[in-house]
Amino acid sequence: MAKGKVTLQMLSEMMANNSGRSKSSAESFVRTFFAVLKDALQRDNIVKVKGFGTFKLVVVSPRESINVNNGERVSIAGYNKITFTPDKMLKDRVNKAFAQFDTMVLEDDDLDIVTNAEKVEKAEPQVSAEPQTPVVPQEVAEPEAPAEEPASPVVEDEPRIVALKQETAPEPEPSRVEEKAEPDEQPAPTETSKEQQAKKRTLKIIGIVLFVVGVLLGFYAAISSGKQEPEPTNVNKADSIVMTPEQKAEQAALDSIAQLRAAAKDYEQVEGGDMLIAGTRTYRRITRSHNLVRYCMQIYGTKKVLPYVMKYNNLKSEYVPVGKDVKFPILIEKQDSIK
């Protein structure tokens, strides 16, 4: 979230622009507003401003607490604080994005969401940092969503190769997704002991990470030549770019390859290379975070294709300046190396 700091002066300037008043009158108003507010709070302990909200001076009583590091009892002294409850208009303006949602009754079959949300809720006072907890309930509620994101760019990158492969590639995925999703949720309802909460949460996070990795591996497995084993085996990444020879090439697949071989004649090839360049596969722009090598890994799964990419782009070096658009070739094995 980008939190820009707006000063009183900026605020009064904006107010002047919005209302058509002079900058000086707006500024003097804003200053007086907060000066009177501060003063009144000291006198009256509560100030209600219609259209804005209510400012209240609240006394917090001293309480006992535990020092997190050594478990010792600590007493926190009492103090005064100011609370602000915004008026309806202000509240609604800020909550516009979530205004459509309403509280709803939870039925018993939503138990998983309930128990997990309860666990998150109970864990919240112990864990002060916000970032950790959002991951858990969102991930449990939609186990498929984050998994699909890393998968889809992979699919987009290799449309031709996937088209050649056809068949069972997509099928192992959904079943695997379901398999992985279930073990994530099963442990949650059976354990309710508070003492095991931290353990449960780490296990859940590990489970989610494994699940995402499993889906990614599954895609690699589907694309690679080892299709007899639909399980997420650790596929040799070099295999993903070597296509037809190891596969049970169906007629259509063979024909497409033959077409590409014919097309390959139009392109300048790498001397002594194992593979042929047969057209453009995709384009990428070099950025500070993604260099040529990184894109090769992303697209082909290996750095071994570098010489081909360099040849295809007439590059002398693998170090390409940021901002340059690079085209990535379709690569097919040379005829001689078919086994």
Partner 1 sequence: MSNKEFISEVAGKITTTPQQCQKMVNELADTLASVLELDNEVVVAGLGSFETRQKKERVMVNPSTGKKMLVPPKVVINFKMSSTYKNKIN
Which amino acid belongs to residue 56?
K
3-22: contacts with partner 1 (CB under 8 A): 3-8, 11, 14-15, 18-19, 21
Residue 228: helix, strand or coil by DSSP? Answer: coil
| Residues 144, 216: Cα–Cα separation, whole Å | 12
| Residues 301, 338: Cα–Cα separation, whole Å | 21
> What's the closest the beta carbon of residue 316 comes to partner 1, in angstroms?
46
> What's the closest the beta carbon of residue 87 comes to partner 1, in angstroms?
7
For 101, phi and psi rounded to 5 degrees? -85, 150
- Which of 22, 23, 25, 145 is in the footprint of partner 1 by CB under 8 A? 25
Contact predicate 7/30, CB 8 Å: no
What x/- string results for residues 134 through 173 when contact with partner 1 is judged by CB under 8 A? x--x------------------------------------
Asked if 2 is part of the footprint of partner 1 (rule: CB under 8 A), the reply reads yes
73-92: contacts with partner 1 (CB under 8 A): 79-84, 86-87, 89-91
Residue 115, Ramachandran bin (φ over 0: left; ψ between -120 and 50: alpha; else beta): alpha
Count of chain residues binding partner 1 (CB under 8 A)? 72
Name the one range near partner 1 by CB under 8 A: 133-141, 145-153, 201-209, 296-304: 133-141
- Which of 72, 73, 75, 98 is in the footprint of partner 1 by CB under 8 A? 98
33-72: contacts with partner 1 (CB under 8 A): 33-38, 40, 42-44, 46-52, 55, 57
Contact predicate 225/239, CB 8 Å: yes
State both tokens at 328. Answer: 């990535």
> What's the closest the beta carbon of residue 73 comes to partner 1, in angstroms?
23
| Residues 38, 80: Cα–Cα separation, whole Å | 14
Closer to partner 1 at the Cβ: 29 or 267? Answer: 29
- Which of 66, 76, 106, 206 is in the footprint of partner 1 by CB under 8 A? 106
> What's the closest the beta carbon of residue 199 comes to partner 1, in angstroms?
21
Using alpha carbons, select from 279, 300, 147, 137 the residue that is nearest to residue 223: 300
- Gyration radius from the chain CA atoms: 31
